[in-house]
Amino acid sequence: MMLGRTLELQVPLIAAPMAGITAAPLRLMYTQAGASMAVSEMVIAATLQAGNAASRHLASWHPQETIRSVQLYGVRPQTLDWAVKHLVQERGVHHIDLNFGCPVRKVTAKGGGSALPLRPRLFRRLVAAAAAAAGPEVPVTVKLRMGLGPELITFLQAGVAAADAGAAGLVLHARTADQQYSPPAHWEAVQQLVQAVPGLPVIGNGDVFEAADAVQLMRQTGCHGVMIGRAALGRPWLFEEAAAMLAGQWPDRPPPNLGHVLRLALQHVTAWADWEQDELGAVLKMRKLIPCYLAGFSSARQLQRRLFAATSLADWHAAAADPEACGFDPSEPYPVQALRVARLKGAGLVRGGAAQKVVLPPGWLEEGSDEDDDSLLECLDEASCEGVSAVPVALFDGTAEFYVHVEHAGNGDAWLEVWGRALGDMDAAAAAALFEPSGWTRNVVKYINMLDR
């Protein structure tokens, strides 16, 4: 599959961007397994331009990554122009994917993400700005959802507009924003988009749980490539299986047993700690992915508890090296029932479940409301797409400013990243004590509901 003039993907298989997950170590695992390209976590154009250290770290790649692919989010043409030029000229990016599919409520409430295609003039300006800034050698793709809900379908109009504005390809997550990640994905929409933009590569995304699904998606829709996201979490070998089947071959080995899966998880967390130069941070971040690696294994319950409690790589190594104490069987075959289990967002949601209410800015649906792009830009807020929220809270006898990242696992659990800065009477030692692994959950969990409002 060709994207633009220069980027050839030998296998039409792409690993999807996932915030807080697809850092360089996992991207490298995916491409080594069989994906032709793995897209970075989302980078926000405005924070990149502002010199934000976290954004600049997100826009970095492992030396072994042969294709540097980045997902970029921006709501102002001038900012996108700067960010794309910086990524191409200073960071050697080979591919840029523009995010117009984010379904998160706080993003659509500001007119961003999957709400932006409802403003076709601004949408076209953004795509055109990115494509012009990238130049002819770096393809820009546009990732879309079908729309906000069954009554607000935008993907065909947006796809045609993106093609006219210079996009080198389209990625369609075949769900509406109100579905979030719940089933089903509507593959028929991928076929409709292929027919609407003849000659432009269309990449299908959604409900690719097994290698055979990738083949079926391409056959059924005529799409040019497949993007896999959550289904590969804890299963990097899915790309190996899908690459084989897309080449007309049957995978030459069965899925790995529990011992092999545990070694892959240990490889992942070790590489993550090295990449971030933060062992504790990587171990805590890895907690949300432990259920993905161990899904369905009947002998892994005690092992999962041990890994959840780990605060160091040494704890991981000790658990992996002691099957008897952790009560797991390394030779347990991969469980068939885990193949089609939804992972992370959307896990546990049933077909036909209640849809999320999509929130839009006042007047967003009024006809002609994007006639004046400058006034329209006033309500847009790139910061609303940040995964980190700043929440001042009173704690004990002092006041601390916390930056809390909450990700729901879909089963009522939440995974947290916490940073804090002491203010007022709380000294640095007291603030640091709040973030000790033994106490951080107790101190922060009471504020989850406030963050979600």
Token pair for 81: 């122009």
Nearest alpha carbon to residue 170 among 140, 150, 146, 149: 140
Is 102 considered catalytic here? yes
Spatial distance between the Cα atoms of 117 and 111, rounded to a whole number of angstroms: 9
Spatial distance between the Cα atoms of 448 and 187, rounded to a whole number of angstroms: 35
Following DSSP, what letter does each residue of 40-82 receive, concatenated? EEEEEHHHHHTT-HHHHHHT---TT-SS-EEEEE-S-HHHHHH
User: Would you say 117 and 365 are in contact if contact means Cβ atoms under 8 Å apart?
Assistant: no
Q: Which amino acid is at 29?
A: M
Token pair for 291: 């259920």
Nearest alpha carbon to residue 164 among 200, 213, 118: 200
User: Would you say 214 and 240 are in contact if contact means Cβ atoms under 8 Å apart?
Assistant: no
Spatial distance between the Cα atoms of 141 and 169, rounded to a whole number of angstroms: 5
Largest CA distance in the chain: 68
Looking up tokens 């850092």 gives 23
Q: Which amino acid is at 41?
A: E
Spatial distance between the Cα atoms of 69 and 87, rounded to a whole number of angstroms: 10
The alpha carbons of the chain give a radius of gyration, in whole angstroms, of: 22
Instruction: Determine which one of 102, 223, 292, 326 is catalytic.
Output: 102
10 Å CB burial of residue 378 (0-12, 13-18, 19+) is exposed
Spatial distance between the Cα atoms of 114 and 201, rounded to a whole number of angstroms: 20
10 Å CB burial of residue 408 (0-12, 13-18, 19+) is middle
How many C-beta atoms lie closer than 10 Å to residue 172's C-beta? 32
Looking up tokens 């097994």 gives 210
List the beta bridge partners of residue 98. Answer: 72, 142
As annotated, the active-site residues are 102
